[in-house]
Amino acid sequence: MNIMIVGFGTVGQSLAQLLLGYRDFLKKAYGMVVRVVAIVDSKGAAVSQRGLDLDMALRCKREHGTVAKMPSVGSEMSALDVLRSVEADVLVEATHTNLMNGEPGMTNIVNALQLGLNVVTVNKGPLALAMPMLKEMAEHRKLALKFSGSVGGGLPVLAFAKECAMGDRIVKVEGVLNGTTNYILTRMEEGLGFDEALAEAQEKGYAERDPTLDISGMDTACKLVILANEVLGKRVTLKDLKIEGIAEIKPEDIKMAKSSGKVIRLIGVAEESGVFVKPLAVDRSDPLAVKYAYNAVTLTLENSGRHTITGKGAGGRETATAIIRDLISIKERLIGYKIV
């Protein structure tokens, strides 16, 4: 399988490291040989139809800040130029999330589908803004559009939902989908003020220097759009959601919830009556009452009730694992049967 990686930040580099470390395992367990024929970052590209030396790509990125400096294979080609010039089966889209217009991910995904490539994306922006359209494009061209790593990092939420839905119907999705806000709320329960908890989350690497997307609830909303479309079959985008973040949560709110055996969590909810994100008080014993940077997703099924999956929701290695899961799924699609 020939793949092209666009975006060589934490996730892209983690994917390269996993492909190096798991080369023999993937071949033995899944009969899958993954050849990276192109890598594009913000300063240029490296292209080789024979397959790039991933050790060298990682070293070049670390030392020079771009793969464009790789000897003999580096260039200043754009993502579109590379898409048009290489023979690849899959585009792995791992550029930054942009909720204004989804770029550059939106253009990368659309161009790849138009040129006949399957797509694996961990970029929430294009999906949050135009998921129904992108899915229609892929289906019309009989191509795969996979996005496991866009919700919950390495947590196999979408696979879990698919398994739960066999023979039953999912009627509601609830999720703690952002580790930053969950860490802040947990530490506030333990006595810190909001600003102190945020500063600690930033110090530990859970929160960005600008935590607006997390605090405002927008990151949770992006992931909820993906779940609502994929799990419940809704046709919604970010503009259809009611969104409330955690900036207004006060210590007294935390104490009031605690006094009645509850905790406050930022929860995304998708059901027949609507799709929204807001802080909610849940019982301390509820599976959604996960602590610190953990995520949890609860599915309510018509006949079998509530089912929950929990785990670490973010991280480069975890998200890269989800990309490999999607590549295996595409391999199964290409050969026409499930690999056991």
Per-residue pLDDT reduced to its tens digit, 121-155: 999 999 999 999 999 999 999 999 999 999 987 78
Closest CA to 8 of 325, 328, 324, 316: 316
CATH code for the domain in which residue 70 is found: 3.40.50.720
Q: Quick one: pLDDT at residue 115?
A: 97
Residue set of the binding site for NADP(+): 7-12
Closest CA to 70 of 58, 81, 87, 88: 58
Residue set of the binding site for L-homoserine: 208
236 and 322 inside one domain: no
List all residues 6 or more positions away from 163 whose beta carbon is below 8 Å from its beta carbon. Answer: none
**Which stretches of the chain score pLDDT less than 50?**
none
CATH code for the domain in which residue 296 is found: 3.30.360.10
Domain that holds residue 56: 2-153+317-335
Specify the number of domains making up the chain: 2
pLDDT digits (tens, 9 = 90+) for 254-299: 999 999 999 999 999 999 889 999 999 999 999 999 999 899 999 9
Within a domain: 144: yes
235 and 251 inside one domain: yes
Mark out the alpha helices in the chain (DSSP H runs): 10-21, 23-30, 54-64, 79-85, 105-114, 124-140, 157-164, 179-189, 194-203, 212-215, 218-232, 251-259, 316-335
239 is catalytic: no
Q: Record the pTM.
A: 0.91
Residue set of the binding site for NADPH: 124
Residue in 61, 223, 262, 331 annotated catalytic: 223
161 and 309 inside one domain: yes
